Amino acid sequence: AAPLIAAQINSQSNQPVPGDREFVRLLLDQCDETAVAVALMHFIDGMTQVEVAATLGITRRTVYNRIRKIERLAAEMLEPTPGAPQDDSLDAR
């Protein structure tokens, strides 16, 4: 799984943490139908890029490009907004 998508999952229990569904919904709302299908098959169903490509009738390169686009978009969404309050809870460790 992609690091940014996988980072939204609690590593100890492998269960979604609060807000995951909303984050994923907002992320996928910004994607075209092919990207959504690729994301669900690859990240949720665990299919390889080759399997996704064969299932959707697209090239593996297209699958790769959609995955990278989704990862870039997720990274942008996770970037702090300038001027917004920062969550310093991790700094207290």
**CA-wise closest residue to 4 among 66, 63, 77, 61:** 77
Average pLDDT of the segment spanning 80-89: 66
pLDDT of the residue at 90:
56
Residues 93, 28 contacting (CB under 8 angstroms): no
For 23-44, how does the pLDDT look when each residue is reduced to its tens digit (9 = 90+)? 888 999 999 999 999 999 998 9
CATH, residue 8: 1.10.10.10
Q: Is the dihedral of CA 34, 38, 39, 44 positive or negative?
A: positive
This prediction's pTM: 0.67
Residue-range definition of the domain harbouring residue 11:
3-78
Task: Count CB neighbours of 38 within 10 A.
Answer: 27
Residue 1 has pLDDT above 60, yes or no: no
pLDDT of the residue at 77:
87
The count of domains in the chain is: 1
Structure token digits, residue 50:
């080759």
Could you tell me if residue 36 is inside a domain? yes
Residue 78 has pLDDT above 60, yes or no: yes
